[in-house]
Amino acid sequence: MDCKNRIIKLRESTGLNRKDFCKLVHIPYRTMTEWELDNRHAPDYVLRLLEYYIRNEGLMVKEMSEGGSDSEKEAT
């Protein structure tokens, strides 16, 4: 899955809009917007850290849809 889709799925899994998600994870709104528009790409380690944080802090209100993270694929 590409960066754009992964970051959108992570944010949507929290049920938060972009502004609130940015405040939660301390990422500038403009940076998140650029990632979601696929104008820039987040480093893979950032995506992994975000997923780890969201899962371990209990912030995930709905499971990520098909094509989720690599760790989900390895678990099945």
What residues contact residue 57 under an 8 Å CB cut-off, 6+ apart? none
pTM of the model: 0.74
CB 23 within 8 A of CB 59: no
- Give residue limits of the domains in the chain: 1-55
Q: Which CATH architecture does the domain made up of 1-55 adopt? A: Orthogonal Bundle (1.10)
More confident residue, 46 or 63: 46
More confident residue, 40 or 68: 40
pLDDT, one tens digit per residue, over 3-49 is 899 999 999 999 999 999 999 999 999 999 999 999 999 999 999 99
pLDDT for the residue 61: 81
